[in-house]
Amino acid sequence: MKEDKRFYTFVFAPTAKSQLRKINVPHNVLYAILGFAAVGLLTVGYGAYRLAQHAVVVAKLNLMQTENRLLREKNQEAQSKYDIMQNRLAALDTTQRKLAEASGISRQSDISANIGQGGPDSDASVSDMERVTAALESELRQIKDVFDKNQVRLSSTPSGWPVRGYITDGFGWRRNPFGGGGSESHGGLDIATNHGTPIQSTADGIVLFAGMFGGYGNVVVIDHGYGITTRYGHMSRIDVEVGQHIARGKQIGAVGSTGRSTAPHCHYEVRLHDRPVNPLNYLSVGRL
């Protein structure tokens, strides 16, 4: 077999002024170099292709992880919202129940029976919770309005004792305590106690009168609204003034014996539409 003596000649000059040089490259060497170059290019191309595929897979994986994280956050937010609404609904239901019982108001429905268990299945469950909560809040406002009105009326209704002492004269007809015989109508209670004992208002109200008034001596008259007034007579000292807002239990003066009186005591009257009524009906409330 004859040796292949074919070759390629490459002529080149290193610089413009250099002499020409030539290199003879045998055919088989050139083909080997080209073959290695082709293999190298294919290897590099395949590597780049695989690298691009890997980059796409990584990008998709990162996207899926991001989407999963967002979904977890959304589910967690929905669960938290559901739990908050459920707790809020339970608290509102408890408050409504207590107000209804305290006010004697019949509830329209037992909302607690509609409170679900477990997490939300969809946005619809949260919407249902919002609807139930809105209905409960509306009913709660109505009950609270009635309750507040009742509370105002209760705080404005006389109850308890203006002073602690002994009842020396009751409501109604009595024998004339100043002698001379006969009887007279007594519009309140006489509660005997030590001179200077503090006298307290028996309900919330506004001072209508504070000063000397005939047989009452030093007297304070308080308007409690709803047609109810109270009077505290024979005071040694007055501690309030006309127009002042008074709370139940507020000291308004001190026991004395001014006016038509035989000894230190508090003359206590309750009037309904300016007509005296028996204060014992209100004192009994304070004894409960």
Any idea where the domains of the chain sit in the sequence?
A: 1-155, 166-287
Q: Could you tell me which residues come within 8 angstroms of residue 155 by beta carbon, excluding any fewer than 6 positions away?
A: 203, 204, 247, 248
Q: What pLDDT sits at residue 20?
A: 67
Give how far Cα 116 sits from Cα of 109, 111, 132, 164, 231, Å.
Answer: 16, 11, 11, 55, 56
Q: What is the mean pLDDT of each run of 10 residues along the chain (288 residues)?
A: 60 66 69 78 83 83 82 74 67 66 56 46 59 68 63 77 90 68 78 95 93 93 91 96 93 95 93 90 58
Question: What's the mean per-residue pLDDT of the chain?
Answer: 77
> What is the rounded distance in angstroms from the CA atom of residue 4 to the CA atom of residue 7?
9
Q: What pLDDT sits at residue 111?
A: 47
Retrieve residue 19's tokens: 């002499």
DSSP string, 38-74: HHHHHHHHHHHHHHHHHHHHHHHHHHHHHHHHHHHHH
> What is the rounded distance in angstroms from the CA atom of residue 131 to the CA atom of residue 133?
5
Question: 159: closest CA among 244, 281, 265?
Answer: 281
Q: What pLDDT sits at residue 287?
A: 39
Q: What pLDDT sits at residue 112?
A: 47
User: pTM of this prediction?
Assistant: 0.51
Go through 22-40 and write b for each residue having 16 or more CB atoms within 10 A of its CB, e for each that does not.
eeeeeeeeeeeeeeeeeee
Retrieve residue 112's tokens: 């607690």
Neighbouring CB atoms inside 10 A of 97's CB total 15
Go through 238-277 and write b for each residue having 16 or more CB atoms within 10 A of its CB, e for each that does not.
bebeeeeebebebebbbbbbbbebeebbbbbbbbeeeebb
First to last CA, the chain: 134
Pick the CATH number of 166-287 from 1.10.3720.10, 2.70.70.10, 3.40.50.300, 3.90.1150.10: 2.70.70.10
Task: For 109-143, write each residue's pLDDT tens digit.
Answer: 544 444 444 444 445 566 666 676 676 666 666 66
User: Residue with structure tokens 């509306």?
Assistant: 138
Question: 10: closest CA among 187, 20, 149?
Answer: 20
Q: What pLDDT sits at residue 113?
A: 47
Largest CA distance in the chain: 172
Q: Which residues pair with 46 in a beta bridge?
A: none
Q: What pLDDT sits at residue 191?
A: 94
Q: What pLDDT sits at residue 236?
A: 96
